[in-house]
A and B are shown apart, each in its own frame.
Chain A
Amino acid sequence: MATPHTWRLSRRTLLRQLGGAGILLTLGPAGAWATQEMVQEAMRQRIGTREPQPGGVTLRLPKIAETGNSVPLTVTVESPMTPDEHVLRLHVFVEGNPEPVAATYHLGARAGKAEISTRLRLARSQTVLALAEMSDGSVRSGSASIVVTLGACVEEVWGY
């Protein structure tokens, strides 16, 4: 009778270890988020030393998302979008994701209207930032914060 008993114990131990491994896998990626240095570097690569001026860039983003898998975002930049005065590029940054840049949109006078809508994948609650490079060389900025209920450690989002 000793054998089944031993077997049961070892099975329990095995399950416990598997459970432990699962917890480690879940906690492991905490260090995988973009650091402030990564965010700063990504911004520098795109706008150089120019100082973004807050205002003129509006982000429409839900305040709360149940999951971060597909979050609708609309960015609007105030600009007449004429040959003399328009938005050249629009950058979207997601500082709470493993990679800090989400997208760059190349616009121009022929866009007619400086607005885009997309769907983001957000790993956790964060502030989404948009920078607009204007044709006169200035950079405008806007941001919006969102609470992501599920996202950070959910398999379907980033697979940690």
Chain B
Amino acid sequence: MTPPRIRVPSPARQGEVIEIKTLLSHPMETGHSRDVYGKLIPRQIIHTFTCTYNGTEVFRADWHPAIAANPYLTFYTVATESGRLRFEWIDDEGTVYATEADITVV
């Protein structure tokens, strides 16, 4: 399984608005497609993405089947203090894909 890919600018100035890019390999099965036998393929999507900054949630997304496979997301946050950003993707099977990035704020 390909690990999630993220880009967090570091170091950042205190108070700077930083752009964060994320990408996860995931089929995002819509639940509307059929296999070669005509049987519906069960829905299997990432339904929640969260970003926490030193333990505080700073961004969250609720996703539906209209989000393309291999979900890509760019968002912003304010660089408040040095520490750790944690990213979590949760899918319909309950699998949690997680990764972390350290940020230095000067």
Q: CB within 8 Å of B: which residues of A? A: 32, 69-71, 74, 92, 94, 97-99, 101-113, 115-122, 155, 158-160
B105 within 8 Å of A (CB atoms): no
| A160 to B38 Cα, complex, angstroms | 9
Q: CB within 8 Å of A: which residues of B? A: 17-18, 28, 30, 32-34, 41, 53, 56, 58-78, 80
Jot down 16 A-B pairs with beta carbons below 8 A, ordered by A: A32-B32, A70-B70, A71-B68, A94-B66, A99-B66, A103-B67, A106-B59, A106-B60, A110-B59, A111-B75, A111-B78, A115-B76, A117-B73, A122-B66, A155-B33, A160-B34
Interface of A is mostly: mixed
Task: List 5 tightest A-B contacts by C-beta distance, closest first.
Answer: A159-B33, A112-B17, A102-B66, A117-B74, A113-B76
A158–B30 touching, CB < 8 Å: yes
| A113 to B78 Cα, complex, angstroms | 8
A110–B53 touching, CB < 8 Å: yes
Interface of B is mostly: strand
Contact A159:B41 (CB < 8 A) given known A98-B32, A113-B76: yes
Kindly report which residue of chain B lies nearest to residue A98, judged by CB atoms.
Answer: B32
A70–B66 touching, CB < 8 Å: no
Count chain A CB atoms within 10 A of each CB in B56, B73, B75 and give the residue with the most. B75
| A69 to B74 Cα, complex, angstroms | 19
CB-CB < 8 A to B59: which residues of A? 105-107, 110-111
Which of A97, A103, A108, A118 is the one whose CB lies under 8 Å from B72?
A: A118
B75–A115 touching, CB < 8 Å: yes
CB-CB < 8 A to B41: which residues of A? 159
A111–B74 touching, CB < 8 Å: no
Which of A103, A107, A113, A115 is the one whose CB lies under 8 Å from B64?
A: A103
